[in-house]
Amino acid sequence: MDLWLRESQISDAVMTYKIKQTLIRKKTKYQDLAIVDTYCFGKMLVLDGIVQTTVKDEYVYHEMITHVPLFTHPNPQKVLVVGGGDGGAVKEILKHPTVERVVLCEIDQEVIEQCRKYLPEISFALDDPRCEIFIGDGIKYVHEHKNSFDVIIVDSTDPFGAAEGLFGRSFYKEIDECLTENGIFVAQTETPFYLPEVVKGIYNDAKAVFPITKLFMAGIPTYPSGFWSFTLGSKKYDPQKVDLSSSVNINTKYYTKELHKACFVLPKFIENLTK
């Protein structure tokens, strides 16, 4: 008998994956958590039936959500990750030699514990001494830490249900106050193909807060449509104008200095969402 995971985040479309084995499935305090081993993408973290990351393609998402803001900022030393309990963002952040401290603020401790157990390929950097793990509400944490971080990365689940408060103008104002005077933030902001109004709304909310706001794209096979957006808000530094010629070289599989600039060149239908 074949076992298949059926993801139906988009009401009129589904994505399916053939499963070798279910490694863990449990109901946490906040969500339904599963880690499964698939034939096509290897081990996969699934929350409330929606694929969050896989061993095979995690590098695309995690490299783009981290290296774009970190290479835009001239000297990122303190970084906050809201969400991101799988540890993939922390793994990429700690490749930057200027980074002294990363705080991972994750509301669901079970995500961290199970990813440490079943996804060590992604989560190993959570044990780095520069990484501080805080279990709790990201909105509350941001509110209580003014002027504390050079870069904030909102590595959340989709803007529905428990994560809804991590999107929107009021939270972006809190992020603005949590950042230092030259700070930068980035959030994952959904698929413009299936959810254009969601992408547009998030972009406009960020633009109302940050003087420099840019949308950029990456191709992520396991996310609906395979075409994913990120929104960057910056107080001072423009990611398209930054000089990367003297920046350090780090080990990546997707991100490059050339792609850093190119990812902001948008197809016309996406560019229209930013107007």
Task: Determine whether the annotation assigns residue 225 to a binding site.
Answer: no
User: Catalytic site residues?
Assistant: 155
189 and 176 Cβ atoms separated by less than 8 Å: no
Task: Determine whether the annotation assigns residue 156 to a binding site.
Answer: yes
Task: Determine whether the annotation assigns residue 48 to a binding site.
Answer: no
Classify strands 179-188 and 149-155 as parallel, antiparallel or unpaired: parallel
C-alpha to C-alpha distance for 257 and 249, rounded to whole angstroms:
9
Distance of CA 41 to the CA centre of its chain: 19
Minimal CA–CA distance to 215: which of 186, 178, 181? 186
Task: Determine whether the annotation assigns residue 137 to a binding site.
Answer: yes
Task: Determine whether the annotation assigns residue 158 to a binding site.
Answer: yes
Task: Determine whether the annotation assigns residue 86 to a binding site.
Answer: yes
Tokens 């989560």 belong to 123
C-alpha to C-alpha distance for 104 and 153, rounded to whole angstroms:
10
Task: Determine whether the annotation assigns residue 106 to a binding site.
Answer: yes
Task: Determine whether the annotation assigns residue 150 to a binding site.
Answer: no
Q: Is 134 helix (H, G, I), strand (E, B) or coil?
A: strand
223 and 236 Cβ atoms separated by less than 8 Å: no
Task: Determine whether the annotation assigns residue 138 to a binding site.
Answer: yes
Q: Which residues are annotated as a binding site?
A: 31, 62, 86, 106, 137-138, 155-158
Q: Which residues sit in the known binding site for S-methyl-5'-thioadenosine? A: 31, 106, 137-138
Residues annotated in a binding site for spermidine: 62, 86, 155-158
